[in-house]
Amino acid sequence: MTEDQTALRDAVRAPLAAGGWSTLADLGVFAAMADLGLDETDLVPVLEEVGYAAVALPVTATAFVAVPLLAALDDDRAAAAATGSLRIAVAGPGGLTPFGGHADLVLHLDGGVARIGGLSTAASTVDTSLDAVVSMAAGVLTDDPALVEAAAGRAALGHAAELVGLGRRMLDLTVGYVQQRYQFGAPVGSFQAVKHQLADAYLGLEFARPAVLAAAWALQEGADAGPAVDGAVVLAADAAHAASRAAIQCHGAIGYTVEYELHRFAKRAWALAALAGPGDRLAALATTIGLKEQGT
């Protein structure tokens, strides 16, 4: 990461922790890929911080997916979204839309067509802070295959970046806890079994992070980014899942309680991983590298 990328990442941490949408707008987060001329590799570190804070707002969907697509189409709504005055969520499979309850519009990216419309029925999810809705696609925005594919790739990559951030948050919580929790006269973090679990979780996240950045670079350069995005999603989902398992187990019984904050990040990771579809992406990767024939 460059110094500018690091500075932008650090600048958003406090407003993300506070859920400050207007502050993010003032920092130029929503205008980053339109008016400010930044690209995918500049925004990925910010999206990781979105995951770390488990922000319950469509920050990633608006800044990373909707704004660059609307700007590329010279759509009048691009300016409003870039200033943060228009919130846009992105629908997942079946129209399930995370943060739809906090959005003004919903973007659908299905079947090679981008559609945009309003909101619909509230939906129940494992992470209630997602405030999800089931949205029906409305008017056609574009059927340009390159633009739709790029937007879909950014949507998947946004999930991957947030999953890395969520994994980091769960790992940080757990490391802090096992240093303070004593058993048999010693901190439980000094026990080899605990060390190994957390080291494995850390290793998974450290492998996932550069894969996410590499996929961002592929999208930025207009390369064949499909396999890179698929790989990033698979690695990030696996790493976040491993971090959640290690975190809950190392916390013991307190890790299962809603009074303790760990469940917020674990549930968000499970929900985002399901939306990103790592299983299908792993199958696609296997086909790409010749390990699986199409249709088998």
> What are the pLDDT digits (tens) for 199-208?
999 999 999 9
The three-state secondary structure class of 111 is coil
- Write down the pLDDT at residue 143: 96
Q: How far apart (Å, rounded) are the C-alpha atoms in residues 273 and 172?
A: 20
Q: Which of 40-44, 119-123, 190-194 has the lowest mean pLDDT?
A: 119-123
- Write down the pLDDT at residue 119: 77
Q: How far apart (Å, rounded) are the C-alpha atoms in residues 52 and 44?
A: 12
Mean pLDDT score, 125-146: 90
pLDDT tens, position by position, 141-165: 999 999 999 999 999 999 999 999 9
The three-state secondary structure class of 206 is helix
Q: How far apart (Å, rounded) are the C-alpha atoms in residues 89 and 41?
A: 21
Mean pLDDT score, 117-145: 88
The pLDDT of residue 226 is above 70: yes
- Write down the pLDDT at residue 292: 65
- Write down the pLDDT at residue 156: 97
Q: Which of 37-51, 106-120, 235-249 has the lowest mean pLDDT?
A: 106-120
pLDDT tens, position by position, 238-293: 999 999 999 999 999 898 888 999 999 999 999 999 999 999 999 999 998 888 66
* Eight-state DSSP code of residue 115: E
- Write down the pLDDT at residue 291: 86
Share of the chain above pLDDT 70, in %: 98
- Write down the pLDDT at residue 1: 86
| Closest of 122, 166, 126 to residue 16, by C-alpha | 166
- Write down the pLDDT at residue 173: 97
